[in-house]
Structure 1
């Protein structure tokens, strides 16, 4: 029988309708059953009030905002009040069900809800960095992120944070960023009225001695000394002779005169330069597609009409060298016909990728001039350090750097641009040491100096008489 197909046919008459399900009737029947259930459960709260000609039915609805803690829902007939009671408790049950479901929402689910909200307010780059921290520090703690967020206690927060501090060599900045995810997610829950401020479990109580402090790196790693600067600029000039249309090389040379961020210098327009100054108020940023939070994709880069902070909008005076570099760039653009919306640095009709500057410097340092690789940000630190070391007030240097706070300049951008030998000589001179104690000073001694007879100094004069004179 398995190979036989059976077909049933029905006559096109009223009897066929008997086999059709009346969905409307089923719905109405279900609603009536639910109404009966609610009335059986809550019907006794209905009261009848009569005085003289005034008569109505009512039930009380709790409301802490009014005197007495409740108000009366009134209707003229019993049928009307029962219908109102049914609708009220039906809505209340639905609300409680949704609330119960929300109570079971895990911290991970809350985080992703928060991130969907946050990505409408901040840059895609910020979202990408937060997702990197999430995957690194939170995805490995499945018990914590899968716990309903309303059940997370301050002790749970302590255990989570201390678990990270005790098992990873985390630096203070990374720890701060990692904690930011916890803090912002629970603050979102408060703002969304999911929990009250008093119910927010976030706090930071860890053994801070186990967090690695950010120590200032040695100057030789953070800035170019005079010799390294000269070598790099000479190499850029040599490359420019081989490739006269490459304005990226001039961008690197110009950086040594301005100290801007690499995204800022490549976003400069010709119209930003006037009266011996350059107006920095724009930057190039990476563009990411974060529609899939777990898989941010780099789409490209673009110029935006803002800088890293409000303090980034600034005017920088141009040195003679800077003016010469700009003149050369303009001439190259004129000869090659490069143009894109008045931007100074253009290649093949497009903005220059900021990563290109670093790649040029990296190649030059490693392959040609044999110095440690230091990128464009090290050029920025070199310029700012040079300004301060040559007597420019820190407040002025901070303003030229586009920093909001002078402490940022002092903590992260102030280094010694001298070589180690020069540094030691400066220290000894400052301490009043007049002896020749460094190789650099010995190297500067002339032949005439060698003929000078040196006598001991700082030796206490002795008594020329061996015997005491008595009178």
Structure 2
């Protein structure tokens, strides 16, 4: 209350009541004539409240640093997302890249484009960041500065003017194809093993979830969140995913408390309708029949003892099948990469593939999901057929210096 009265006493403009019984005063505003703007309210109390809030916000703006802004922005972000995993990720990024950096102590009003430009390029070099790492790290300052502009703490978001030199990013070498997908001869081995596993215990449909992933190209978290109601007339609607729920145990430190289902997919483009091939329809129909026989109709598609299966359960089964057939284990997400690579190999239009698999940009599909599923021997044979499909003609004869042989085509002439 004392602070309230002190602010009113320091207000430099007159407060008065007009003939219309409204209360008036001026507040500083450099965008208006005479650097002030007229305000009015029905009661003196309402007018005083506006005055006090204006000066409190002004003082806050003068003292605001990136450190204090981050706390305010994070609360705002928490209120606008259901993804506790994202809150955890950005809290971790703050601790890793920001909390010990002197820049967070600088008043926002003192920050310049040049300061931010130097800071961000130094960070890229210091931490040897890839483009993806930079994007995740900079999410905080990009959104904090945007939030500050919207709240009037800054007149403009100067970080938006900072342009990063893409040559600064550490290049990521694409991993060998055989580590990212299941090769063409491996896929039928896994599918056969999964069907054997299912036939040993037809009540447990987790093995069929593994098989179905090869025909859907869905994310692992999406396959375990499918419901029977998502299937209609040969089309599957993908609209939710499994998501970890995290709880903050102390500032900046989180622990996972459960794995639930979020009523959305990874991105806006992730919600999609997939036309199904016959094998996929047969598997879904079989699973729904099994659920009905055990009184579990109407809920999640894949169940184990009446409970929704988890992504970890799919991973465990897949690893078991790989061990049984003696091939390297690759995560369930690699099945998604395998299926997408198969679509590309099949000559499907890239934009159609992008929509089917829930990517926002076809560059994501090509850059991260396009792998060769052939063995090295098969690739070499394909190369031979592509580059030397006419073995009877050698356009450029050459001479062997040692034996002075002229070699042309399939003939060897001694000189």
Q: How does 1:71-86 map to 2 (within 5 A)?
A: none
Which protein, 1 or 2, shows the higher relative CO under an 8 Å CA cutoff with sep ≥ 6?
Answer: 2
Q: Distance in 1 between matches of 2:84 and 2:49?
A: 43
Aligned partner of residue 182 in structure 2, secondary structure: coil
> 2: distance between equivalents of 1:294 and 1:397?
39
Matched, 1:226 2:177: no
State yes or no: 1:276 paired with 2:234: yes
Indicate yes or no: 2:320 matched with 1:360. no
Alignment pair present for 1:286 and 2:244:
yes
Mapped pair 1:157 → 2:116: yes
Partner of 1:347: 304
Which of the numbers 335, 346, 349 marks the counterpart of 1:390?
346
Task: State the partner residue of 2:334.
Answer: 378
CA–CA separation in structure 2 for the residues paired with 1:162 and 1:171: 12
* Equivalent residue, structure 2, for 1:5: none
Distance 1:96 1:229, change over 3 A: same
| 1:371-450 matched pairs, under 5 angstroms | 371-433=327-389
Match of 2:223 among 265, 268, 289: 265
Aligned residue in 2 for 1:190: 149
TM-score, length-scaled by structure 1: 0.69
Rounded to whole Å, the distance in 1 between the matches of 2:230 and 2:60 is 56
Distance of aligned partners of 1:383 and 1:201 in 2 relative to their CA distance in 1, 3 Å threshold? closer
Between the aligned partners of 2:37 and 2:369, the Cα distance in structure 1 is 66
Distance 2:342 2:29 in 1: 69
Task: Please name the residue that 1:120 is paired with.
Answer: 79
Judged with a 3 Å threshold, the aligned counterparts in structure 2 of structure 1 residues 229 and 38 are, in CA distance, closer, same or farther, namely closer
Within the alignment, does 1:458 sit opposite 2:409 as a pair? yes
Question: 2 CA distance for matches of 1:103 and 1:154?
Answer: 18
Contact kept? 1:338, 1:347, Cα under 8 Å? no
Q: Indicate the residue corresponding to 2:125 in structure 1.
A: 166
Aligned residues of 1:279 and 1:313 also touching (Cα < 8 A): yes
- CA apart distance, 1:117: 0.5
**Unpaired segments ≥5 residues, structure 1:** 1-26, 47-57, 74-83, 437-455, 463-471
Check whether the contact 2:204–2:305 (CA below 8 A) recurs between aligned residues: no
CA contact (8 A) 1:264 1:284 kept: yes
Structure-2-length-normalised TM-score:
0.78
Q: 2:201 aligns with which of 243, 262, 266?
A: 243
1:434 CA displacement = 5.2
SS across alignment from 1:170: coil
* Number of residue-to-residue matches in the alignment: 383
**1:130 corresponds to 2:97:** no
Higher gyration radius (CA)? 1
> Is the contact between residue 139 and residue 145 of structure 1 (CA under 8 Å) also seen in structure 2?
yes
Unaligned regions of 5+ residues in structure 2, if any? Answer: 16-23, 393-406
Please tell me whether the aligned partners of residues 224 and 379 of structure 1 are also in contact (alpha carbons under 8 angstroms). yes
1:113 offset after TM fit, Å? 0.5
CA, structure 1 residues 166+409, in 2 after alignment: closer, same or farther (shift >3 Å)?
closer
Rounded to whole Å, the distance in 1 between the matches of 2:172 and 2:249 is 34
Q: CA RMSD in A?
A: 3.9
SS in 2 for 1:279: strand
In 2, Cα distance between equivalents of 1:305 and 1:327:
24
C-alpha distance in 2 between matches for 1:295 and 1:137: 15
